[in-house]
Amino acid sequence: MVFRKYPGDLLLLGLLLLPVIVVAPGIPWTEQGWLYSLAELAGVFALSAFLLAGMLSARVPGTDPWFGGLVRVWVVHRWLGVSAFMLVMVHVLLLALAMLPVSLGASVTTLFPPLSHWQVWAGWAAFVAMLIFIAPTLGFFGTLHYQNWKRLHLLSAPALVLALVHTLMLSTTVWVWWLLSVLALAAIAWRKLLSPRLARKLYLVEGIDRLARGVVELRLRPKGKGIRWQAGQFVYLTPMDASLAAGYREEHPYTIASGSGDDELRIGIKAVGDATQALMDINPGAEVRVEGPYGIFFEETGGKQAAPVGPEPQRKQLWLAGGIGITPFVSGARDRMENRDRQRPAASLFYLANRPERAYYLDELARIAEACEGFDVHTHYMNEHGVITRDYLAGHCPDYAEREIYMCGPPGMISHLQTLLRHEGVPAHRIHTEAFDFL
Ligand SMILES: Cc1cc2nc3c(=O)[nH]c(=O)nc-3n(C[C@H](O)[C@H](O)[C@H](O)COP(=O)(O)OP(=O)(O)OC[C@H]3O[C@@H](n4cnc5c(N)ncnc54)[C@H](O)[C@@H]3O)c2cc1C
């Protein structure tokens, strides 16, 4: 992921450093030795990273553009969680090392005191809970099915509470921890208890268009007030149809394939697992809940640039799509069709598929290209042309390396194209990717 500065980054950095700024001056560095003090500092950093990871799980619609979109928020959340876990290990190791000059016994007793020192044992319990829920994220003991991974992740809440108890009981400065813990626990409460009731809008399945084998497009209409979105954003969709073979009441992220002015919410879905397979047979009239929109794929939300260092608005664009990764571009193309009078930079779409039958949106995209000036579509079939090359791109779009580049598709395609483009001298900040497997 390309590093860019977003307005929310300063807030995140401030919240991460606040406990250190408040607590560090009170650590008696000379009295207790620098190793012991460093151990305390590692513990302080670990808890602030853990609390911040908790805060970032809130997922309040409309707030994620300030942090670079929800996908980036999840990346930062994961990075903070893993860092917190590592720092807890550093904390334990440094405590043991700090007491070693006294004696091995002192070192062991510091880590494993009598049970009456329950504050220390609360810390150990937090560590064990962390180890259990973070292990599958790090790939220890294999990977879990996504829904089981999510259930196991709920252990993070008791782990956070135990870590707080440990710190509050052993720390002299407590207000900063109370402040951050209220924010983190409020975020978790919003996400788990309130947002399912308050943030999800009710929609009805109005129609199902079968695009290809294992690919459908759902047409959804709001029952009441629906959501507003920008091209390329995504939503969490929760089917409320108990007759589905799988995925009932399970939320999954899908890109909105409609243009931003469409009354209907259209979602293109490819069957890859049990929940997406079940949606192939959802009945018209079925209820679904929609939460969002999220993301800033085209880095433009509400007509404002979300990032101070975002794409150049007038630079021509190159869109590279593979498989179901075509959906954000279908949204972008439909948006151009709906708003033909709006000035936009020219865009060339390369639709990458194995064979013509798998380019399921091609007919509509070709019609849009005919109707919209400054938008053209090219296909690349792997079975016919092999892996896409610079010559293929240059043959259809000679200035491709000078453009603002957006891509979405399978991981193999993304990494191949990223290498190709970087090799051609395209700077990282001009390459924008959307990952459909961000967790
Ligand atoms: C930002 C974004 C936009 C997406 N847009 C589309 C789209 O327009 N069309 C489309 O067909 N697919 C899209 N996907 C992918 C879609 O979410 C997964 O294919 C779907 O969740 C798979 O669920 P499953 O139970 O059928 O398969 P599973 O076998 O359960 O999951 C397959 C993989 O999908 C991912 N996944 C599963 N559940 C979730 C979840 N709740 N949250 C995040 N990732 C999950 C995991 O990486 C998992 O390994 C998008 C994903 C993301 C992150």
Question: Which range, of 52-61, 74-83, 310-319, 325-334, averages the lowest pLDDT?
Answer: 310-319
The CATH number given to whatever domain includes residue 351 is 3.40.50.80
Which residue among 168, 195, 222 closes a domain? 195
Which residue among 294, 320, 341 closes a domain? 294
Spatial neighbors of 284 by CB under 8 A, at least 6 apart, are 205, 206, 207, 208
What's the number of domains the chain is made of?
A: 3
For 99-109, the pLDDT digits (tens) are 999 999 999 99
Which tokens go with 66?
A: 């300030």
Taking CA atoms only, the protein residue closest to ligand 1 atom 51 is 436
Q: Is the pLDDT of residue 28 over 90?
A: no
367 and 318 in a single domain? The answer is: yes
| Strand ranges for 261-397 from DSSP E | 265-270, 287-294, 300-301, 304-305, 317-322, 347-353, 375-381
Residue 308 confidence (pLDDT): 44
Residue 438 confidence (pLDDT): 53
163 and 33 in a single domain? The answer is: yes
Distance 214 CA to ligand 1 centre (A): 14
In a domain, 439, yes or no: no
In a domain, 170, yes or no: yes
12 and 145 in a single domain? The answer is: yes
Residue (of 199, 198, 159) closest to 181 by Cα position: 159
273 lines ligand 1 (CB under 6 A): yes
14 and 111 in a single domain? The answer is: yes
Name the burial class of residue 5, with classes exposed (0-12), middle (13-18) and buried (19+) by CB atoms within 10 angstroms of its CB: exposed
Of 208, 276, 289, best ligand 1 pocket probe by most atoms within 8 Å of the beta carbon: 276
Taking CA atoms only, the protein residue closest to ligand 1 atom 9 is 269
Residue 301 confidence (pLDDT): 43
29 and 64 in a single domain? The answer is: yes
Domain of 273, in residue numbers: 199-294
For 391-409, the pLDDT digits (tens) are 999 999 999 999 999 999 9
Q: Which residue has the higher pLDDT, 205 or 141?
A: 205
Q: Binning pLDDT at 50, 70 and 90, where does residue 142 land?
A: confident
Q: Is the pLDDT of residue 302 over 80?
A: no
In a domain, 360, yes or no: yes
Q: Which atom of ligand 1 is nearest to the CA of 327?
A: 8
Torsion 251-186-183-48 (CA) sign: negative
In a domain, 2, yes or no: no
Q: Is the pLDDT of residue 309 over 80?
A: no
CA distance 238 to 202: 10
CA distance 343 to 296: 20
330 lines ligand 1 (CB under 6 A): no
Mean pLDDT in residue range 246-262: 95
Which residue among 195, 213, 228 closes a domain? 195
167 and 272 in a single domain? The answer is: no
189 and 203 in a single domain? The answer is: no
For 206-229, the pLDDT digits (tens) are 999 999 999 999 999 999 999 999
Residue 311 confidence (pLDDT): 64
Q: Is the pLDDT of residue 1 over 60?
A: no
Residue 353 confidence (pLDDT): 96
64 and 117 in a single domain? The answer is: yes
pLDDT over 70 percentage in the chain? 95
206 and 179 in a single domain? The answer is: no
45 and 191 in a single domain? The answer is: yes
For 174-209, the pLDDT digits (tens) are 999 999 999 999 999 999 999 999 999 999 999 999
In a domain, 125, yes or no: yes
The CATH number given to whatever domain includes residue 152 is 1.20.120
Residue (of 195, 344, 338, 213) closest to 266 by Cα position: 338
Distance 439 CA to ligand 1 centre (A): 9
Residue 312 confidence (pLDDT): 63
pTM over 0.95: no
Distance 436 CA to ligand 1 centre (A): 6
With contact defined as beta carbons under 8 Å apart, do 331 and 259 qualify?
A: yes
In a domain, 301, yes or no: no
With contact defined as beta carbons under 8 Å apart, do 407 and 380 qualify?
A: no
SS3 249: coil
Distance 122 CA to ligand 1 centre (A): 36
CA distance 323 to 208: 19
Mean pLDDT in residue range 66-73: 93
120 and 52 in a single domain? The answer is: yes
Mean pLDDT in residue range 305-332: 82
Look over the chain and give the mean of its residue pLDDT values, rounded to a whole number: 92
Q: Is the pLDDT of residue 300 over 60?
A: no
Q: Binning pLDDT at 50, 70 and 90, where does residue 313 land?
A: low
Query: What is the DSSP secondary structure assignment for residue 343, as one 8-state letter?
Result: -
The CATH number given to whatever domain includes residue 289 is 2.40.30.10
Residue 306 confidence (pLDDT): 44
Name the burial class of residue 19, with classes exposed (0-12), middle (13-18) and buried (19+) by CB atoms within 10 angstroms of its CB: buried
∠350-213-326 over CA atoms, to 5°? 25
Residue 3 confidence (pLDDT): 57
Distance 360 CA to ligand 1 centre (A): 19
pLDDT over 90 percentage in the chain? 84
278 and 363 in a single domain? The answer is: no
